[in-house]
């Protein structure tokens, strides 16, 4: 197992507040045969210097300083320098459990799978909440299961998953996974400025070409949510348009690869469920209320939602989510603002 080099790509941009914790978790890994690639994406704080310090003190750390190009650009640059059999990603404000890589490599080698998925813990300032993608048990996926249990979820939730619409992208993240470097290097992350969500599209292209995968539930990626409670948030006016580009790519992928009508249903469910993120982007921003109301109303009047709700299985929702999506369906922007304000205080348990 010690011969199986693991490359860890860490994109870094103005992360000095959390970066030391992140990098310390790599230094303390019980599995030592790792290559750490720190991609300083044009940071303007002390992040670049912190990366250099760790590289000078740890021979398996490398630093790439580049002009700012965004998360996708940083990951793509890091992949170029990977020498390992496996590649995994770690965001600079997150961290690994101390035995995370060791446990994952043991499973990868024992079962010879092409993708490994792990659960994660949502780390709030006063609470840690485990988030299991499937369960807390080990699951092996064969060629058929990879398509129906993993690929399908990347397009969108099925009837059972609609009980938790806010978790539509839990399985889509690039982090919390181990990829074969030989295949990973053939795929590029597309900039979020083009498609809104780069991870889901990357994983769709990776998963479609594999025949085996594994999920384990006994080690964790720690996902930092400490800085998600900022009172001032920037409204992303282009999010809807960028997500529509992603939806079109997904639609074409289903059609070109003859994946079947079920995948169109999953995609429609994703489109509707993403109204959670779009509405949060509006109502939790620093816009004045009249602008929030105007933008939410404009979103809900889009043809993609008017048509999407005609095929949306409301009966699969829990009571609270049926209210939320019912208000979306009826385009009740004013009541939605109240619902989301209340939900913001309950978000740690709603997911």
Residue ranges of domains in the chain, CATH in brackets: 6-228 (3.90.550.10), 239-350 (no CATH)
Q: Which two tokens stand for residue 198?
A: 């780069």
Q: Which two tokens stand for residue 118?
A: 């792990």
Sign, Cα dihedral of 155, 161, 166, 172: negative
Question: Per-residue pLDDT for the chain (351 aa), expressed as one digit of tens each?
Answer: 557 899 999 999 999 999 999 999 999 999 999 999 999 999 999 999 999 999 999 999 999 999 999 999 999 999 999 999 999 999 999 999 999 999 999 999 999 999 999 999 999 988 999 999 998 899 999 999 999 999 999 999 999 999 999 999 999 999 999 999 999 999 999 998 999 889 999 999 999 999 999 999 999 999 998 765 443 468 899 999 999 999 999 999 999 999 999 999 999 999 999 999 999 899 888 899 999 999 999 999 999 999 999 999 999 999 999 999 999 999 999 999 888 877 664 454 445
Which residue from 10, 5, 20 is spatially nearest to 64, judged by alpha carbons? 10
User: Cα(316)–Cα(322) distance, rounded to whole angstroms?
Assistant: 9
Report whether 35 contacts 9 (CB < 8 A): no
Sign, Cα dihedral of 196, 198, 199, 202: positive
First to last CA, the chain: 36
Q: Which two tokens stand for residue 193?
A: 């400025």
In this predicted structure, what is the pLDDT of residue 342? 72
Burial of residue 185 (number of CB atoms within 10 Å: 0-12, 13-18, 19+): middle
Report whether 146 contacts 207 (CB < 8 A): yes
Indicate whether this model's pTM tops 0.85. yes
In this predicted structure, what is the pLDDT of residue 349? 44
């Amino acid at each position: 197992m010690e011969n199986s080099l693991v490359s860890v790509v860490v994109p870094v941009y103005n992360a000095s507040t959390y970066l030391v914790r992140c990098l310390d978790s790599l230094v303390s890994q019980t599995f030592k045969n790792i290559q750490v690639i720190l991609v300083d994406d044009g940071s303007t704080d002390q992040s670049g210097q912190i990366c250099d310090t760790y590289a000078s003190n740890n021979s398996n750390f490398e630093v790439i300083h580049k002009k700012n190009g965004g998360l996708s650009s940083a990951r793509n640059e890091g992949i170029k320098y990977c020498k390992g059999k496996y590649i995994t990603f770690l965001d600079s404000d997150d961290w690994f459990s101390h035995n995370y890589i060791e446990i994952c490599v043991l499973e990868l080698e024992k079962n010879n799978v092409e993708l490994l998925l792990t659960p994660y813990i949502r780390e709030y300032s006063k609470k840690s909440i485990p988030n299991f993608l499937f369960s807390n048990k080990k699951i092996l996926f064969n060629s058929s299961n990879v398509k129906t249990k993993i690929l399908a979820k990347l397009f969108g939730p099925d009837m059972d998953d609609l009980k938790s619409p806010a978790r539509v992208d839990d399985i889509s993240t690039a982090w919390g996974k181990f990829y074969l470097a030989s295949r990973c290097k053939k795929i590029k992350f597309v900039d979020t400025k083009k498609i809104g969500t780069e991870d889901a599209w990357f994983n769709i292209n990776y998963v479609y070409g594999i025949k085996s995968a594994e999920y384990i539930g006994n080690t964790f990626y720690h996902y930092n949510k400490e800085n998600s409670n900022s009172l001032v948030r920037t409204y992303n006016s282009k999010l809807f348009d960028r997500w529509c580009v992603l939806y079109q790519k997904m639609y074409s992928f289903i059609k070109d690869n003859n994946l079947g009508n079920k995948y169109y249903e999953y995609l429609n469910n994703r489109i509707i469920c993403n109204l959670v993120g779009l509405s949060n982007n509006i109502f939790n921003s620093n816009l004045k209320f009249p602008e929030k109301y105007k933008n939410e109303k404009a979103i809900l009047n889009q043809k993609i939602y008017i048509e999407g709700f005609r095929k949306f299985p409301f009966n699969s929702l829990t009571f609270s989510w049926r209210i939320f999506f019912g208000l979306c369906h009826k385009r009740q922007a004013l009541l939605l603002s109240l619902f989301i304000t209340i939900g913001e205080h309950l978000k740690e348990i709603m997911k």
